A and B are shown apart, each in its own frame.
Chain A
Amino acid sequence: MEETWGISGPQFLAWYGIALAVVLVVQVVGPRVARPRSVEHTGELPDVYHLAYLAGGPERVADTAIAALVDRGLLRVNSEGLVTAAGKRPWHKLERSVHEGAKGATGGTTRSLRAKAARSKAMSDLETEMQRAGLLTSGREARPFHTVVLLAYLVLLAVGAVRFVAGAANDRPVGWLFLLLVVALVLTIVAGVVRSRERVRVTPRGQGALTRARSASRARGAAQPALLLAGAAGAVALGGLAMYPDDELSAALVPPFQPFAGSGGGSSGGGSSCSSSSSCSSGSSCSSGSSCGSSCGGGGGCGG
């Protein structure tokens, strides 16, 4: 009886298994070992929003902007977590987008402001900026690697399939090969999904910057990072809203736990008070929505 392709079944199975394992190892270890090609360190320290991104992604960036604005009085949070804009709009792009999200009678919540900030141009600009500085990988950088991995799996899958057909035609046992083929198919599908989902990741340099910032903030030395991370924004950038240095405001800002959290919006801070217009249907002297709270005397205007 002739061996298919002149290779014995067990030999083929061994080589095939080894090949699959090698691709798998490369797939898993590769991204960790490969240093992203990036511009040389410019010597500039990352700003507080860069560190926030490194520490907790876009959500932490939004939280840091909220903290910075609350600290400067440009955002106000009430006891029910309703966040409203106050005063003039800030200059910083990210802060401006958060401030705008809290404008108007309905304001926003930490959740709704996070959702809005994540979709903002300011956030994608920040990501681009950090990719240029070598702090983040872009999905694009990692894509060729994952394409190669996917192709390797596809080749193995094809070779295995042909051997399976040839072996079966040759009346050889193909049960074990069939099992390996199933494994190869699963790995191929996983590689495809990983390739399509590949997104922004922190680079080793980004990780290093974050570690330095954390130790600097712990050391509270005279070094610049400590200065950079001074204040509410710095505390929240590294530790989240729970670290906002005012307990009452921190408690109001941390969104309530929602096991089935929907997207933004959340519970409007209204509660028993004004924003639910039902309680002030009549006689509210004002025409403008939430300010049914108005007690003013009508008048040549809102009165409200």
Chain B
Amino acid sequence: MVDRLGVGIGWRAELDLSIARLPGVDWVEVVAENLHAPHLPESLLALRRRGMPVLPHAVSLSLGGAEPLDTHRVEHLAELARALDAPLASDHVCFVRAGGLDSGHLMPLPRTREALDVLVANVRLAQSIVDLPLALENIAAVLEWPENTLSEEQFLTELTERTGCLLIIDVANLYANARNVGTDPAAFLDGIPWERLAYVHMAGGIERDGVYHDTHAHPVPPEVLDLLAELRRRTDPPGVLLERDDDYPTDTELATELAALRATVTA
């Protein structure tokens, strides 16, 4: 089982003084690529001194990539996790690089045995370097590969079984996939091995031209909160994290969103 974290928020440099003062923040998550262990921002260290857990979350390991794993990036994550005394480190189930090009976006993997084998090998190598529990997050897919043979929940379940990794379930990404590529959210939630859950991600987005955009720049829509309530019927998540990356609202609005998350998971 994973330690209980409570309700947290994605730490962003622009928000550092706000986050330190917001009511209802039990922990924060930092984007690993934005920080360097020897030069951590003073405002983040202040949170650590207050005993607030700070968990690093990477976006660039490309664990699903067919190319050899860039172990320098994994070492960076490991070093940061040690500096923050974090209980776990994380990245996504995706690839971001191929053929020497950087997609600048988290790209979905084809859900095939072959792709899973590659992912499992990379995750095992990363685990051996990080030396902490590693959690992996479901992404919002921009597309579905035609050769998919496994459902997303099957793919994630097998991944945890073969590597022992933990999962971060991004409810907003699940909602986006349900809206945009036809994922069945109930089947997804029924198929996830909840004992492997590290925590849950929540974020806002907006619908434009019939497509749901997971912007992280809008309030969490009621449909995504409903989906969190649906998840809560299946498990009591150890942590819930609000991600807001742009077009920041006032502190009051952030506090209201955090309170809504807390109310949903404690209901």
- Do A and B originate from a single complex? yes
Whether B13 and A274, one on each chain, are in contact in the complex, defined by CB atoms closer than 8 angstroms, is yes
Q: How far is the CB of B172 from chain A (nearest CB, A)?
A: 7
Residues of A269-289 at the interface with B, using a CB-CB cut-off of 8 Å, are 269-275, 279-288
Whether A298 and B249, one on each chain, are in contact in the complex, defined by CB atoms closer than 8 angstroms, is no
B206 closest partner in A (C-beta): A301
> Chain A interface residue count: which class?
35 or more
Whether B57 and A295, one on each chain, are in contact in the complex, defined by CB atoms closer than 8 angstroms, is yes
Chain B residues lying within 8 Å of A56, measured Cβ to Cβ, are none
User: Please, how many residues of chain B have a CB less than 8 angstroms from a CB on the other chain?
Assistant: 69
The verdict on A159 contacting chain B, using a C-beta distance below 8 Å, is no
The verdict on A131 contacting chain B, using a C-beta distance below 8 Å, is no
The verdict on A249 contacting chain B, using a C-beta distance below 8 Å, is yes
B70 closest partner in A (C-beta): A282
B57, B60, B137, B252: most-surrounded residue (chain A CB, <10 A)? B60
Bound: A137/B125 CA distance, A: 74
Residues of B165-218 at the interface with A, using a CB-CB cut-off of 8 Å, are 170, 172-173, 176-177, 179-181, 201, 203, 205-206, 211-217
| Cβ-defined partner of B59 (8 Å) among A80, A283, A301 | A283
Chain A residues lying within 8 Å of B206, measured Cβ to Cβ, are 301
The verdict on B107 contacting chain A, using a C-beta distance below 8 Å, is yes
Chain B residues lying within 8 Å of A73, measured Cβ to Cβ, are 250-252
Chain B binder among A38-46, A82-90, A174-182, A231-239: A82-90
Whether B212 and A301, one on each chain, are in contact in the complex, defined by CB atoms closer than 8 angstroms, is yes
| Cβ-defined partner of B107 (8 Å) among A252, A273, A298 | A298
A74, A272, A301: most-surrounded residue (chain B CB, <10 A)? A301
Whether B248 and A76, one on each chain, are in contact in the complex, defined by CB atoms closer than 8 angstroms, is yes
The verdict on A296 contacting chain B, using a C-beta distance below 8 Å, is yes
Whether B96 and A283, one on each chain, are in contact in the complex, defined by CB atoms closer than 8 angstroms, is yes
Q: Interface on chain B toward A: helix, strand, loop, or mixed SS? A: mixed
Bound: A269/B16 CA distance, A: 11
| Given contact pairs A284-B59, A290-B246, A302-B213, A297 touches B140 in the complex (Cβ within 8 A) | yes
B139 closest partner in A (C-beta): A297
Whether A298 and B105, one on each chain, are in contact in the complex, defined by CB atoms closer than 8 angstroms, is yes
A273, A274, A290: most-surrounded residue (chain B CB, <10 A)? A273
Whether A303 and B105, one on each chain, are in contact in the complex, defined by CB atoms closer than 8 angstroms, is yes
Chain A residues lying within 8 Å of B92, measured Cβ to Cβ, are 285, 297
Interface flags for A135-152 (1: CB within 8 Å of B; 0: not) read 000000000000000000
Whether B216 and A286, one on each chain, are in contact in the complex, defined by CB atoms closer than 8 angstroms, is yes
The verdict on A27 contacting chain B, using a C-beta distance below 8 Å, is no
Bound: A286/B176 CA distance, A: 15
| Given contact pairs A283-B33, A293-B31, A294-B31, A271 touches B41 in the complex (Cβ within 8 A) | yes
A272, A290, A294, A297: most-surrounded residue (chain B CB, <10 A)? A297
Chain A residues lying within 8 Å of B68, measured Cβ to Cβ, are none
Q: Nearest 7 CB-CB pairs, A to B?
A: A299-B140, A301-B213, A283-B60, A297-B139, A273-B13, A298-B106, A291-B245
A-B contact pairs, 15 of them (CB 8 A): A78-B15, A78-B16, A271-B13, A280-B60, A282-B60, A283-B59, A284-B104, A285-B106, A286-B216, A295-B10, A295-B243, A300-B141, A301-B212, A302-B214, A303-B105
Given contacts A297-B94, A302-B246, 15 further A-B pairs with CB under 8 A are A73-B250, A76-B18, A269-B13, A279-B34, A282-B33, A283-B61, A283-B106, A293-B12, A294-B31, A301-B213, A303-B139, A303-B142, A303-B214, A304-B245, A304-B246
